Structure 1
Amino acid sequence: MDKLKINCAVAIEGRTYAAQMAVDRSLWYEADDQWRAEFLDTCRLRFAAHIRRELSTELTEKQVSDVIVVVADPREPTPAPTVLVTLHGGPLDGSTAPVDPTDDDPWTAIISEGCAYPGGRSLYAPDHTGRWVWRHDVPWEAL
């Protein structure tokens, strides 16, 4: 049968974990949005359970919620490659975020409850060592 790949990834204590699952293409495209969302949530939980077994420890709710789950359809254009980075400083300190390592202008602006501007973003960029650090908050209109 023709399969779609489900890629899962998370960074825990500086180490990145990744796995791949699959779903029948026809099942995925014939399903409604709610079914797809529930399926991806199940993939997230199964991946977290796998990591729990590998690490022989429980994961926090935050670590489980940080799992990134992406559907990869080989018939569709390939999305930009992403890696998970740990954010340092600012309102998202200790969180992880996916970034494109091939981007010539590497930075990411992320919605955060601690942003100084309602509806704005917290801007993170790599420093000279490659560590992703908070630069400042920006209003939505400035992006």
Structure 2
Amino acid sequence: MEELIQEKISADHLLYVSLKYTKTCDVIKNLLLRWTKMIETGIDSMLEHAKEKGKITLINTNPLGRIEATRKLFKKDKNMQKTLDEYMMFRKINDLKCDRIGEFRKNVNLRVYFRGKEVNVDLEKLKEYADMLEMFINTTKQFLLS
């Protein structure tokens, strides 16, 4: 849990300080990668807790198996499902085709092509992701304390 909080602090610094002053797509990519690590840490701790509680029998070693196991654990939680969907994109951000738009300006935008769709990651979208991940962390805390 402590590692998850540290990742969130680092990600918040990227979002609210680094991005405010630099406004580059590299900062956006680094933020998405930081969130990826944060989500992975949360998933790992939730799956280990679920195994201890007997809700699952084994923890899959590959990332897609872990995602599916987490989906099954939280099948009624819409925010968790949405977070896992976004996590799929975050994981592959370095391999996806990206266009840099408006760098060094107020309307900096990283256009990502994922699963045949165009996703515009701008400052508003990053704030949506931050809110979604805040709920993810709260869900993770509640699950680990249960």
TM-score surpassing 0.5? no
Higher relative contact order (CA 8 A, sep 6+): 2
TM-score bracket relative to the smaller structure: under 0.3
Normalised TM-score (structure 2): 0.27
Normalised TM-score (structure 1): 0.27
Q: Which structure shows the bigger proportion of residues in helix conformation?
A: 2
